[in-house]
């Protein structure tokens, strides 16, 4: 491998990997090296630009911790997350479309019963959510596991607060419940608001340099699992949000944009009298049978 130059280095790197015993790893790394080298040649990458890129990725790593995932933000804002999601979730048109997981999913969220208030003290206007989980052929899916998480009225997720206890405790506006025998579900929460993804770090600086904003339209996250069906990770967006056509992570799909109905103070769907205006959302999810995956 002596005397390698700019014309022969790509071949030399690929040859150095020839003894790789993992066929899939070799396929991925071969393509990655080829595209990286082609990119550097295409833009005639300078040493200064290369050093700046290394510094940028180092900063992304330094700001990432158990509460913040800057690498996910980077992938999201470059459209890579949504590309990977889309190409790995091809399914019949009747099925609910998938979107990105995002950086704010947290394991271990509390379990609730249908009808419970999942906001757990998070601030926001009352919102009552209902719907049904069905299979591709219309069959209701009983005991399907639904995980929900969302922003509060300030546009923050619980994990974004420096001290969650000051906001009333951990695991706010997120939780898990199961569908009823007829596949239906219902719970109380708060109205999600549009919010900017964290932009005080390297990804935020990148967006600013590119003339892009960091905002996401208001939405609820859903992760639904049922035996014998492909899991579904998706959002349900609020119709009318001004960021629907410029989502910072490219996750909006028209089929997931829904009217959230505002109601005057009065009796809510759970029979409780609410003294302030409240909202309702009704949305059904259709899962793809696992054997139908292409």
| pLDDT of 294 | 45
Domain 71-292 indexed as CATH 3.40.50.2300: no
Q: Once rounded to an integer, what is the mean pLDDT over residues 86-106?
A: 93
Rounded CA separation 116/152 (Å):
17
Sheet of 232-238, strand order: 174-178, 145-150, 219-225, 232-238, 257-258
In this prediction, residue 103 carries a pLDDT of: 84
In the chain, what percentage of residues exceed pLDDT 70? 96
The encoded tokens of residue 110 equal 């509390």
| Beta-carbon-side half-sphere exposure of residue 159 (alpha carbons within 13 Å) | 18
Task: Provide the 10 A C-beta neighbour count for residue 152.
Answer: 24
The pLDDT-based confidence of 169 (bands split at 50, 70, 90) is low
Q: Are 75 and 101 in contact (CB under 8 A)?
A: no
Whether the Cβ atoms of residue 243 and residue 216 lie closer than 8 Å to each other: yes
Q: Terminus-to-terminus CA distance in the chain, angstroms?
A: 43
Q: Where are the alpha helices (DSSP H) in the chain?
A: 9-16, 23-43, 47-63, 70-77, 80-87, 202-209
Could you state, in order of their start, the residue ranges of all structural domains in the chain? Answer: 1-45, 71-292
**Residue 41: pLDDT band with limits 50, 70, 90:** very high
Q: What angle do CA 230, 156, 178 make, to 5 degrees?
A: 35
Chain length of the chain: 294
Average pLDDT of span 184-210: 96
Residue 293 banded pLDDT, cuts 50, 70, 90: very low
Of 71-75, 91-95, 121-125, 289-293, the one with minimum mean pLDDT is: 289-293
Q: What is the pLDDT of residues 218-260, one digit of tens each?
A: 999 999 999 999 999 999 999 999 999 999 999 999 999 999 9
Q: What is the mean pLDDT of residues 116-143?
A: 96
Give the pairing type, strands 261-263 and 278-282: antiparallel
Token pair belonging to 161: 């607060």
* Residue tagged 């049904």 (tokens): 132
Q: Rounded mean pLDDT of the chain?
A: 94
Q: How far is CA 111 from CA 117, 171, 227, in A?
A: 11, 10, 19
245's torsion region: left (phi>0), alpha (psi -120 to 50) or beta? alpha
What kind and span of H or E run contains 266?
A: strand 266-267
Whether pTM exceeds 0.85: yes
**CA nearest 123: which of 192, 220, 215?**
192
């Amino acid at each position: 491998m002596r005397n390698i130059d700019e014309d022969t280095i790509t071949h030399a790197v690929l040859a150095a990997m020839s003894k790789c015993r993992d066929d899939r790893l070799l396929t991925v790394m071969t393509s990655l090296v080829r595209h990286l080298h082609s990119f550097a040649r295409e833009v005639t990458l300078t040493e200064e630009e290369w050093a700046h890129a290394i510094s940028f990725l180092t900063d992304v790593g330094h700001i990432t911790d158990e509460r913040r995932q800057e690498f996910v933000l980077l992938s999201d804002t470059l459209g890579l997350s949504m590309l990977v999601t889309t190409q790995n979730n091809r399914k019949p048109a009747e099925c609910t479309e998938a979107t990105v997981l995002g950086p704010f999913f947290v394991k271990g969220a509390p379990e609730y019963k249908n009808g419970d208030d999942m906001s757990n003290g998070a601030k926001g206007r009352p919102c009552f959510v209902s719907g049904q989980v069905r299979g591709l052929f219309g069959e209701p899916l009983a005991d399907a596991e639904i995980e929900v998480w969302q922003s509060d009225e300030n546009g923050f997720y619980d994990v974004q607060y420096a001290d969650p206890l000051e906001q009333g405790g951990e695991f706010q506006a997120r939780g898990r419940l199961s569908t009823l025998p007829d596949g239906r579900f219902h719970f109380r929460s708060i109205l999600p608001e549009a919010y900017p993804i964290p932009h005080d770090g390297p990804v935020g600086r990148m967006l600013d340099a590119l003339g892009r904003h960091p905002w996401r339209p208001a939405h609820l996250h859903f992760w639904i699992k049922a035996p014998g069906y492909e899991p579904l990770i998706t959002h349900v967006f609020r119709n009318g949000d001004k960021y629907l056509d410029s989502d910072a992570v490219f996750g909006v799909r028209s089929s997931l944009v829904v009217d959230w109905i505002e109601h005057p103070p009065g009796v809510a769907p759970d029979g409780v009298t609410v003294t302030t205006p409240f909202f309702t959302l009704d949305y059904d999810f259709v899962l793809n049978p696992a054997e139908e995956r292409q």
